[in-house]
Chain A
Amino acid sequence: MMVDEAIRFLSNIPPFQFLDDPLLRQVCGSLAMEYYPKGTVILQQDGAVSDALRIVKKGVVKISLKPKGGGDEVVIDYREPGETFGLVSLMGKRQKTTIFAVQDTICYLLPKDRFNELLGTNPAIMEYLLQFHLTKYADMTSREIQGKSLFLGSSDHVLFTTQVGEICSRSAATVDLSATIREAAQRMVEEKQSAVIVLDANGMPAGIVTDTDLRKKVVARGHSVDALVGSVMSGPVVTVDDKDHCFEVILKMLQYNFHHVAVTREGVLMGVITNHDFMLLQGRSPLAFSEDIEHQKTIEALAPVSGKILNIIGVLLREGARAANIIRIISELNDRIVRKVLEIVEAEMGPPPVPYCWVALGSEGRKEQTFRTDQDNAIIHADCETPDQEQKARAYFGVFAASVRDGLILCGFEACPANYMASNPEWCQSLSTWKRYFSSWVSEPTPEAVLKSLIFFDLRPLYGDESLARELRDHLVQEIPDHATFLGFLANMLVQNRPPIGFFGSVVVERGGEHKDELNLKIKGIAPLVDIARLFALEKGVRHSSTNERLQALRPTHTIVSEYADELEYAFEFITILRIHNQYRQLESGKPIDNFINLDTLSNLEKQTLKNAFRVIIKVQELVMERYKAFII
């Protein structure tokens, strides 16, 4: 029974899923299970080595490292259910990292002898695990090789090393649901706090009333101060644990756009933390930055704020954040700038004649921007009912889109060289026109049509009436299955862009020109992966726009993805982090930012990992070729 449960779990995760049934049963029979409450140090750096490979069954663990010779702890990675840790420790003689349970965590343990036995009989397991762990460590190692300075001397680490409980010393001001607004306000004055937590009958937070609530909901509306506090509170309250890192809490604040978060210790309310607390702690946090954006009223004032985004990315890189997280934060901040520009321009011009949706396209749509990106955007506006309205709409959006484009340029988003921007009349259309465009693109896939559709398949609504974008996406998802030729066309394009691995397994670089001996990571590495995920997403009608989300969504249903999802994700993660590091180095040394990397600057390990990533791409491309045989020219 316990063995069956373990088999069910392991048969879905690599590398164990590759074992045949009798062997898997045997392996599961030798497992043990351990439980670590949140906050447990499972393995301690420089402590005893692990006697087992651990597979996370439930919970999350954090892997961190304290650099030799001093400096603060650096977070290397997190491991989630289905992932393993302790391999390096198992093979080494000393524990190199500290592994800490971020949540209550349950692990299966594969004992060392049994593991070694398995490696002897199944080299494929070893290969997989090494690759998994190497890729994960490669990023950190490359930094170790390239200079310890990244670890040290940074004053920005606090957000990643400080637990929110440490800076939340104040007790929260609280009132019961039976209190009036006046009483709540009095509590805030007495406690000198900008918010008061409203407790329910069980003493749990039911809602929160902030200064802003008092201003907007009470004073401005002439609401009676003798009314019950429940009538103006906002709820539910976002709560975090006192052991959460500030970084995680800030992400939550950004996500929900809240400024007050309740902090609990072992389930009991401990206090309230505000964005102000973080700003005191850290002058250049992503949150402080987004505050900055929110407060701007003109594009001229917004532009210098936008420039600061680079500082933040530098901080994140130094802190060893994962590529996926860095990209997420960049996207989050860029989105805010774009929305702010739209807001400002809309305020200047007055409301539009018909509802519209501003959509981000291409890498911005996929949330995969790195440092500097072109503008790729479009406007979908509602259908007009009269020619007069149509004329008004055309006039309004023409001026509007041009102002936004210029505003974004001021904020550092360069214009799209191919003119894929809403300011181009072709990219500013009514919903039914867009639908017509699509239908013609997919029914007559000329190279130009395919190119246009590609960028549009990655659309993401950013501002305005999202239902317009949803409807367009629905239309698109419905159209595709009827046009196998179109998918064939995409497949054909995709397999033409083979990663550059030469006959003898070496990476082929540019032979001449400005970028002699260099490799374009975006075109040769990122693009094929993006194209693969997009093609498969279209096959299955998956509506996500980012590469990682697409792969995640396809995992259970798509035969190729279900087999290669992990490899594809690691490949994407690795190439992305290479690209970001490379661009950051270019930026710091004052060079223009591009996607070219000189292979000589990579360590052997990085080169090896890059090759492995390319091999995965080629493998999947071959499967695509097999599947679309009829269409491949």
Chain B
Amino acid sequence: MRVNRKLITKIGIHAILILTLIVVAFPIYYAFVMATHTHQDAYAFPPKLMPGKELFANISEAWQRVKMATLLKNSTIIAISVSFGKITFSILAAFAFTHFKFRGSWFLFPLAMVTQMMPLPVRVIPLYRMMAQLGWLNTYWALTIPYLASTTGIILFRQFYMTVPAELADAARVDGATPMQYLRKILLPLSWTNVAALLVIEFVYMWNEYLWPNIAITASNMRVAQMGLRMLYTSERGAAEWNIIMAGTFIIMLPPLIVLILFRKQFSEGIAMQTTK
């Protein structure tokens, strides 16, 4: 009897999980179905639930309509430069906070933590004025430099560097290595999991960033991918061209999804490391 009850529980768990998975994945599936039909078929009754054959036609239409190449280029440049900048800055700061005793660190570390309470939106108007004065509006500078400090990154690397045995640094010092050599040759090679985890976090974050680009960018050649989504979605207010909108949506959501899939393992491990205090 007991075995039987266990089996039923397990089947029940599978059933619930599969059902939930279908519900959660359905919007994506249906969006994909839409992207593969003609405008007419998208409005057919009964609704089409199986993919059609117009995917590439719709993609090329969406591609031309919002100048997709420019959007993808800009978003890629921004997401990659911010990710690498944040990773570098965080590693340096975390190294300082874990391997050195220095005056003011009691003040500087909380200062770095406070940044997560000042998300960009609470300082958006002064920041806009500042960018205007610097002449940075409509440039990559405005979309990258203000993002470079990362609380998440500093915590992630600090958490990890605290677990690295002190003997490693002592041995390196005795062998005559400078701190920077130790960081580059010993600590960094140990940090790749965290680097990959942070790359996923920051790439996804920057790719999906919308409020600030929407304010700092007005020139059409500087627009980012999320702004393209708005253009696709709001261009047609009569009967929405869902097939074109969804084809564009799929292109735009692909890059962060690929990054997540590529580094999924490191991402999960990095998260697990961050939650263990």
Do A and B form a real pair? no
**Residues of B participating in the A interface, judged by any CB pair closer than 8 Å:** none
- A interface residues (Cβ-Cβ under 8 A, vs B): none
